[in-house]
Amino acid sequence: MQASHSDQVAPGPTRYADDWLVIPLYNEATVVGDVISAALPTFPNIVCVDDGSSDGSGDAARAAGATVLTHAVNLGQGAALQTGISFVCEQPGARALVTFDADGQHQVQDAAAMVDLIDSGETSIVFGSRFLDGRTKPGFVKRTILTFAVWFTKQSTGMRLTDAHNGLRAMSVQAARRVNLQQDRMAHASEIVLQLGRTGLPWREHPVHVLYTDYSRGKGQSVWNSVNILVDLLFK
Amino acid sequence: MGGQSALIQLILLAAVAVVAVLLTRSTADARHQAIRRLSLMGFVVAAVFSIIFPEWLSRAANAVGVGRGTDLLLYGLVIAFLSYISTSHRRMNLMSRRITLLTRELTLAEARGERGPGAASLAPTDREDLEDRGGPTT
């Protein structure tokens, strides 16, 4: 697969034929079908890990054309992500994967741009960041929490990220094989950064636009979650 | 009596420190299990003894600077309880990890079945983490 320098070639089904989207899925039946339909033209390989949803999310994802893996019991987003990552690493010829949210917050073009960086050999790991350019505008409370998360991530992993809790991350399969998440729930976000940092492989950040729709705002990550994440990390 | 009550405080602090250290170590191996069982037996013996000879408990208490035998018993109970909590917490985490790995393996096995005969199974490093060398809980 040739590396072409992005903008001239339109994304078609063969360009990312060796790359995968990994989508952890829990009760997003109303939107996941649309998210997958929007991504499939660019990313033909999509694996959705249904983490014990009770609203038919798995069926919706399957109907939209994704490969769906199902957890027999709900384990948490971290566990679902790891299952998806392990799955992709088992696929022959897999080159890179992108972790992608099921609720429509992430943009397919951002994922594609991040995969381009990896497929072209420029880097092995790309962390999406909302704060590299001015596109994303989170509320004040969220910004404060995120600032603390960035500081904490720097203290615990030594890596200076501008956006520590962004679900959009791309990595080569080589890097993905070194990921082994033990945090099943929300603390996985810090753990994955730590593990990817430890690989010693080249990494960088890439600006991404996160869409805060009314839907996603309604189920957003509360302050309480932050407390739980901290406890999980300190007492693992 | 000041010097003597310092004795019980020292003993209790040491016990708490031991419990805290144990929190960080594996409790599943045969040695820890044996220690727990011996402690339990020791406790039973001491309990029976102090029921049959109640003045023994008071004397033991006074020797370390505690006024009443029942107070000594209470302190011992608190330490034992803390120890139980920490052990229990660790075992629950281990169990939770097992469930995750089991569920993941089931999920991936189903996927392999649908897509054709395939490759990996449980990573060797995970198997090591979960080795239970001690058998059932106390």
Provide the pLDDT for residue A105: 92
* Rounded Cα–Cα distance for residues A56 and B92 (Å): 30
Sheet architecture: strand order including A125-129: A67-70, A46-50, A19-25, A96-99, A169-172, A125-129, A203-207
Distances (CA, A) of B23 to A150, A234, B12, B35, B83: 29, 14, 17, 15, 8
* Rounded Cα–Cα distance for residues B81 and B70 (Å): 16
- The percentage of residues in chain A with a pLDDT greater than 90, rounded to a whole number, is 63
Yes or no, beta carbons of A67 and B112 under 8 Å apart: no
Is residue A2 domain-resident?
A: no
* Rounded Cα–Cα distance for residues B72 and B62 (Å): 9
Is residue A78 domain-resident?
A: yes
pLDDT band at B134 (very low <50, low <70, confident <90, very high): very low
Is residue A3 domain-resident?
A: no
Q: How many CB pairs under 8 A join A and B?
A: 44
Answer for the pair A106, A206: CB distance below 8 angstroms, yes or no.
no
Two tokens, residue B21: 């250290």
Residue A215, class by beta-carbon neighbours within 10 Å (0-12 exposed, 13-18 middle, 19+ buried)?
A: middle
**pLDDT exceeds cutoff 50 at B136:** no
Provide the pLDDT for residue B135: 44
Among A70-74, A142-146, A166-170, A202-206, name the one with the lowest average pLDDT.
A142-146
Is residue A55 domain-resident?
A: yes
Is residue B96 domain-resident?
A: yes
Q: What is the mean pLDDT of chain A?
A: 87
Question: Which CATH number goes with the domain that contains A201?
Answer: 3.90.550.10
Is residue A68 domain-resident?
A: yes
Yes or no, beta carbons of B99 and A75 under 8 Å apart: yes
* Rounded Cα–Cα distance for residues A84 and A92 (Å): 15
For residue A184, the chain B residue with the least C-alpha distance is B100
From the list A72, A87, A89, which residue is nearest B106 (CB)?
Answer: A72
Kindly indicate whether the ipTM for this predicted assembly is greater than 0.85, answering yes or no: no
Domain that includes residue B9, residue range? 2-129
pTM for this prediction = 0.77
pLDDT band at B116 (very low <50, low <70, confident <90, very high): low
Task: Output A88-92 pairs: Cβ under 8 A, ≥24 positions apart.
Answer: A88/A20, A88/A22, A88/A47, A88/A173, A88/A176, A89/A173, A89/A176, A89/A177, A89/B120, A90/B108, A90/B112, A90/B118, A90/B119, A90/B120, A91/A20, A91/A45
pLDDT single digits (tens) B49-79? 877 887 888 888 888 888 888 888 888 889 8
A-chain residues within 8 Å CB-CB of B100? Answer: 75, 79, 184
Number of domains in chain B: 1
Is residue B134 domain-resident?
A: no
Q: What is the mean pLDDT of chain B?
A: 78
Domain that includes residue A167, residue range? 10-234
Number of domains in chain A: 1
Is residue A112 domain-resident?
A: yes
Yes or no, beta carbons of B100 and A72 under 8 Å apart: no
Is residue B138 domain-resident?
A: no
Rounded mean pLDDT of A129-158?
77
Higher local confidence (pLDDT), A44 or B118: A44
B-chain residues within 8 Å CB-CB of A86? Answer: 104, 108, 120
B-chain residues within 8 Å CB-CB of A178? Answer: none
pLDDT band at A31 (very low <50, low <70, confident <90, very high): very high
Provide the pLDDT for residue B96: 95
Is residue B97 domain-resident?
A: yes
Higher local confidence (pLDDT), A10 or A133: A133
Residue A206: strand pairing partners: A128
pLDDT single digits (tens) A63-116? 999 999 999 999 999 999 999 999 999 999 999 999 999 999 999 999 999 999
For residue B129, the chain A residue with the least C-alpha distance is A182
- The three-state DSSP-derived secondary structure of A20-82 is EEEEEECCCHHHHHHHHHHHCCCCCCEEEEECCCCCCHHHHHHHHCCEEEECCCCCCHHHHHH
Other beta carbons within 10 angstroms of residue B102's beta carbon come to 13
